[in-house]
A and B are shown apart, each in its own frame.
Chain A
């Protein structure tokens, strides 16, 4: 039953504010109808007895319950102090202006709701309207921090501020993937994605509240060890050595992996997760760059072999620490530019947001690998045999590369050249839908969050992928090209969850793998569909 909810309802304690009943989620087409009554597996009472879990059917952070009333009051006080800081120039040099504009000008027209895949795929639950959490923050700010706010709140929208409101708001900020499709459609340019980012930031920077996967095991581990994966420089080199050997089986000749080459033209930054989970991706880059005769290097310095910057999703301080490390490594290597590999959020972090941070000789030119690769493929720097990619291919647009940065065509021009059976999803480009794994979701799997993601936040993407291949026979292997590690993680999980490899023969991978797969000199195919090679010579 879809009970209407107002922002003020967040303050009223209950066991579960918003529950999704089986059958409320939008239906999936055949052969997936058996999932249409699937419920989000209930949270286990013994696992949530000490944490805040009263928002909905899942838990992203797992905030410990305060021990007593005093602790609750202290947390409320810290929240308000943090909220104040969001609106001060000295304390919010990154996003103050867009935050102010978005807080002031929302007309609550709900255009953004229709654009939000989580709102739509949740069965249109009010808490998932992009303006819902923004409105919670707006009401708290107007009532508790503006002069006379307690009187005007009666007319402009009231809300009570208590620990329940705050704990639920923190969880709610992790029900949005920051894909910012809502901002794209807003007729007056309000950015509810940004407001959500600021909410996460307040919780992390002021209250130490953030999912452990992106903070403790994420940015903290990144800065301490060198990578969010836990890889030390020695581990990164060991992994690359193995990848090199694997690649030589494909090329039939020596593959060079240059490390720490001072004065190289390009410092290539990979998401280190690729080395462990999708080693062929980093291997494919090495093959292509070598074949094209580029002057490039990897860095074996801590953090220099991991392009991720999870701070982008939740914490400006952690973001800045990582971004400066990346830029400083490039500066000391004296490279001409940094090229960011197939990682969407690293694109936005280092090329766009870091622009507000890097000055002087730290402001080294940064480029998307999509552009570097386009130059190689379209200017004929490598020999291609596109008929080797003779299988259906569709392209997933990572939100950070496409919507946030406007890099839309380079990857498509490559695909049109190397994949004869390439077809678009609907919609695509800047209007494409998030994989459902954005802003850290793909790596968050505590409690039942992974099931929630597969059933709700990735559902729209799954529907889009099925639609793109609907005219293809079941037995034909199909390739979802997703040039982003996070997106690949989310797509891997939906393929697994819905048994889509068995039922629809869906496979996935990056862009460089498709390029190498079409290179005329390769001895073996790079892409395999299960046990089946994608081509035979």
Chain B
């Protein structure tokens, strides 16, 4: 299993960098991983709003919501979402939020 080292801690990830041990997620992980996902500087309030929303939804339903729902519930459009997470909602935002990689025909 590949690992990634962030701020001195080692995390197990899959080959695309998604966290495998979901219970090990912490804010430090997201903060340290942001650079890898092309986010400049530290995570802003806007980033955290999305990350926390994703984590809440995931805890409730075990998956990430559809992108449109994510945007609507947070009052942003897809363009803004890509500005916040340049590598995209699935690859970027979900990864920082410590969610599993999306599966199935999506």
Interface of A with B (CB < 8 Å)?
47, 62, 213, 217-218, 221, 225, 227-232, 234-235, 238-239, 242, 246, 271-277, 279, 306, 308, 343, 442-443, 445-447, 485-486, 489
Contact = CB atoms under 8 A, between A and B. Distances in A.
A99 B64 CA distance: 42
Contacts of B69: 239, 242
A485 B62 contact: no
Nearest to A245: B72
B100 to A, nearest CB: 7
A132 B106 CA distance: 32
B105 A277 contact: yes
B87 to A, nearest CB: 13
A308 B105 contact: yes
Contacts of A279: 66, 68
B15 A442 contact: no
A229 B16 contact: no
Contacts of A238: 61
Given A230-B63, A275-B66, A276-B66, A217 B16 contact: no
A254 to B, nearest CB: 19
Contact of B61 (A213, A232, A446, A489): A232
Given A276-B66, A446-B15, 7 more contacts: A227-B104, A230-B63, A231-B63, A276-B65, A276-B102, A279-B68, A486-B105
A273 B61 contact: no
Interface size, B (range): 10 to 19
Interface in B45-61: 60-61
B85 to A, nearest CB: 16
Nearest to A246: B68
B61 A229 contact: no
A273 B66 contact: no
A242 B66 contact: yes
Contacts of A343: 105
A229 B63 contact: yes
Interface in B67-93: 68-69, 72
Nearest to A346: B105
Contacts of A229: 63, 102-106
Nearest to A343: B105
Contacts of B16: 445-446
Contacts of A447: 15
B15 A485 contact: no
Interface of B: 2, 15-16, 60-66, 68-69, 72, 100, 102-106
Contact of A228 (B65, B68, B104): B104
Closest 5 CB pairs of A and B: A273-B105, A229-B104, A228-B104, A235-B61, A217-B103
Given A47-B2, A445-B16, A308 B61 contact: no
B58 to A, nearest CB: 10
Contacts of B72: 242
A489 B105 contact: yes
A235 B63 contact: yes
A229 B102 CA distance: 7
A230 B66 contact: no
Given A276-B63, A446-B15, A446-B16, A230 B105 contact: no
Contacts of A228: 103-105
Nearest to A228: B104
Contact of A232 (B2, B62, B104): B62
30 contacts: A62-B15, A213-B103, A221-B103, A225-B62, A228-B103, A229-B103, A229-B105, A229-B106, A231-B62, A232-B63, A234-B61, A235-B61, A235-B62, A235-B63, A239-B65, A239-B66, A242-B65, A272-B105, A273-B105, A274-B105, A276-B65, A276-B66, A277-B66, A277-B106, A279-B66, A442-B105, A446-B16, A485-B105, A486-B105, A489-B105
Nearest to A277: B106
Nearest to A62: B15
A443 B102 CA distance: 10
Contact of B106 (A47, A225, A489): A489
Nearest to B68: A279
Contacts of A306: 104
Contacts of B68: 242, 246, 279
Contacts of A62: 15
A217 B104 contact: yes
Given A229-B63, A238-B61, A246-B68, A273 B106 contact: yes
A47 B2 CA distance: 8
Contacts of A274: 105
Nearest to B2: A47
